Amino acid sequence: MTILLYDLVGSDPSRPFSPHCWKARMALAHKGLEFDALPTRFTEVAEVEGGGGRTVPVIRDGDAVVQDSFAIAEYLDDTYPDRPPLFERQSGRALARFVESWSQRTLHPAIVRATILDIHAAQDDENKAFFRTKREKAFGKPLEQVQDGRTEEKRLAASKSLEPLRATLRNQPFLAGERPMFADYIVFGGFQWLRVLSTFQLLDDGDPIADWFERCLDLHGALGRQVPAAA
Amino acid sequence: MTILLYDLVGSDPSRPFSPHCWKARMALAHKGLEFDALPTRFTEVAEVEGGGGRTVPVIRDGDAVVQDSFAIAEYLDDTYPDRPPLFERQSGRALARFVESWSQRTLHPAIVRATILDIHAAQDDENKAFFRTKREKAFGKPLEQVQDGRTEEKRLAASKSLEPLRATLRNQPFLAGERPMFADYIVFGGFQWLRVLSTFQLLDDGDPIADWFERCLDLHGALGRQVPAAA
């Protein structure tokens, strides 16, 4: 049975943008599993699969419902062990957690500070209001003040904060080594979020991270390129 | 045959301090391999095993000579596959490289900026001069100006930069999961360097990183505690 992926979109259902949903999409493709993506807006997240959850991605696979991108990846490896692994062994999962923790605290804030108005602009009117209310409450200030990361000084500082990733990718094609695994998709999700929503250029051309991102976009039948970059 | 570890020391040969040598010590202990540590001063590094190398740790294992802590860990896993693994599979090595890259660019600079005068003070006169000349050339300023990281503001910033590690260790006992692997020893090396050389407190009591470090000090017959903390 085809797996169902609840996938965050804005006003254009053909442009899924959530970094976490992209992690799940790439994980499903990596496993070679068929899936249907169900476009889901911010305001619809609370109703997914009977309600109660606060975030997507969520997948339904037969009777199983799994929420959270990392939990989905673990579920897929546990449930489909004969397909290409997303993690190797127990330490592979544990170390991918460190990658997730680093990505959330380094890459994601840099993207939010540079593009939160683009995220807002991609929503329909109802979801614009929903997003603004939620995020302004969380940040304690207007979205227009949250987006303060586009100066060249701040862009360079954000890029510099990615140096641990950059140095690693100078010496190996993927974070997980010769071949991509879920650790790669964790960081890919962030850059794809940026690519789909914004024309803001965080990385310089020729950056090893930019080269790695292009390699990731080529994976699984160029799944990531099915959504054109923001223009 | 017992493995020989060339191990960096200062004026007191019983207090090895190098973060990279501590990674190798922990890796050898993890594998359950007997080793003799040969105290080596900065000025002696260039003569190790016939000369030509610029850094320790170096190990000699029979006819094999291996330089660099990560290469040593890989060598030990390749050579002694029936002993407890330091990495799991190819992706385990690749992801440990990311941990190494992060540790070098986040933890190590914070320690250097807070303790470089302690490192200097731990050397004999010849090595004090050697260390000062080398490091002042690298930094382009006197050691007394390099050590600018002890204000409460800078300590808090350094501690905050470790949040990706802290968040991970809130949810799992070791970086590699339920049990420590080389990824843990990579970061342990940095904190042990600080512990052996300096009384500077980077972390607050109760920090999950501090708790993890105590667990690491307990490993392998409390190997790390064989050298008392600086006083």
Average pLDDT over chain A, rounded to an integer: 97
What amino acid is encoded at B97 in this protein? R
Residue A44 CB neighbours (<10 A):
15
Length reported for chain B: 231
pLDDT of B147 over the 90 cut? yes
Searching chain B, which residue's CA lies closest to the CA of residue A95? B176
A1 pLDDT band, cuts 50/70/90, is confident
Is the Cβ–Cβ distance between A67 and A35 less than 8 Å? no
Can you name the residues that pair with A64 across neighbouring β-strands? A61
ipTM given for this complex: 0.97
pLDDT of B40 over the 90 cut? yes
Residues 6+ apart with CB under 8 A from A186: A23, A69, A70, A96, A99, A100, A103
Residue A96 CB neighbours (<10 A):
26
Residues 6+ apart with CB under 8 A from B53: B45, B46, B67
Spatial separation of the C-alpha atoms in residues A68 and A85, rounded to whole Å: 18
B53 pLDDT band, cuts 50/70/90, is confident
Average pLDDT over residues A177-184: 98
Q: Are strands A3-8 and A35-40 parallel, antiparallel or unpaired?
A: parallel
**Shortest CA gap B193–chain A (Å):** 21
Q: Give all strands of the β-sheet with B64-67 in edge-to-edge order.
A: B35-40, B3-8, B58-61, B64-67
Q: What is the DSSP letter of A67?
A: E
pLDDT in tens, A38-58: 999 999 999 999 888 899 999
pLDDT in tens, A156-173: 999 999 999 999 999 999
Can you name the residues that pair with A35 across neighbouring β-strands? A3
Write out the residues of chain B at the interface with chain A, using a CB-CB cutoff of 8 A. 87-99, 101-102, 104-106, 163-165, 167-168, 171-172, 174-178, 181, 183
Q: Which domains does chain A have, with CATH numbers?
A: 3-79 (3.40.30.10), 89-220 (1.20.1050.10)
Average pLDDT over residues A192-209: 97
- Backbone dihedral region for residue A100 (phi beyond 0: left; psi -120 to 50: alpha; all else: beta): alpha
Long-range contacts of the stretch A130-135 (C-beta < 8 A, 24+): A130/A42, A130/A43, A131/A42, A134/A42
Contact A99 B98 (CB under 8 A): yes
Structural Rg of chain A based on CA atoms: 17
Can you name the residues that pair with B37 across neighbouring β-strands? B5
Searching chain A, which residue's CA lies closest to the CA of residue B166? A101
Looking at residue A221, its pLDDT comes to 98
